[in-house]
Amino acid sequence: MAEGLAGVFGNPILRAVTLATATFIFCHSAYSAAFLLHLTKDLEFDSRIVSVVLGIGALGGVVGAASSPSAGRAIGIGPVLMVGLAVSTVGMSLATLITEPRWAAVACVSLSQFILWIGQGIYNVQQVPLRYALVAQRLQGRANASIRSVVWGLASLGALAGGAVAAATGLRITSLASSLLGAASIVWIWRSPLRRTRSLRV
């Protein structure tokens, strides 16, 4: 465990990506805790509409993943990671903008999920291979376990925080606030050497 954590947090690029991912996942988990309830309680979407919205989001993930390699080659891995996070944040924030009329709310939420998951498709296709490029083969499992423990451990805390904030302030406010806070994830990459990195040959 110590070797895995040292391998991840001792490398400035892996540290930046891990903290960026963890920050975004924390905020996204807080957002998710309120999002579905916002759809069913505030917007009164039934299960069919919710299924369509989430399906459109999944389609966005496919589009993002398919376009990520060409985007990375065009602008570099560091910039494309920041773009992926920025697109994801924009997508999340759109979900709460329109509540009436009903057709416009459905269209807005569908677009928000499509954009959110385009961003995540772009980001994840680029960030995961960095682990394999920068970590020695014998430490791959330990480094991957360390990253996942940090990221998904914070996901649970994010969901708890999102639920608590939603109970105190409201579903729509929580969704919007957590969306905007997700933009903080970009700062970790901006402040690291990864901002100027164009390929995995770092």
Q: What is the CATH number of the domain that holds 132?
A: 1.20.1250.20
Q: Which of 66-75, 132-141, 161-170 is predicted least confidently?
A: 132-141
DSSP summary character for residue 201: -
In a domain, 113, yes or no: yes
The per-residue pLDDT for range 96-124, each reduced to its tens digit, is 888 889 899 999 999 999 999 999 999 99
3-state secondary structure at position 75: helix
In a domain, 201, yes or no: no
Tokens standing for residue 60: 């966005």
> Count of domains in the chain?
1
Model confidence band, residue 21 (pLDDT cutoffs 50, 70, 90): very high
In a domain, 196, yes or no: no
- Assess contact for 190 and 82: CB atoms under 8 A: yes
> Does residue 201 have a pLDDT over 80?
no
In a domain, 81, yes or no: yes
The pTM score is 0.92
Model confidence band, residue 202 (pLDDT cutoffs 50, 70, 90): very low
Angle at 198 between CA 136 and CA 75, to 5 degrees: 145
Range of the domain at 26: 2-189
Burial class (CB in 10 A: 0-12, 13-18, 19+), 68: buried
**Distance between first and last Cα of the chain:** 25
Model confidence band, residue 200 (pLDDT cutoffs 50, 70, 90): low
**How much is the mean pLDDT over the chain?**
92
Model confidence band, residue 131 (pLDDT cutoffs 50, 70, 90): confident
Cα(25)–Cα(92) distance, rounded to whole angstroms?
A: 12
pLDDT of residue 136: 84
Q: Most distant CA pair in the chain: distance in Å? A: 57
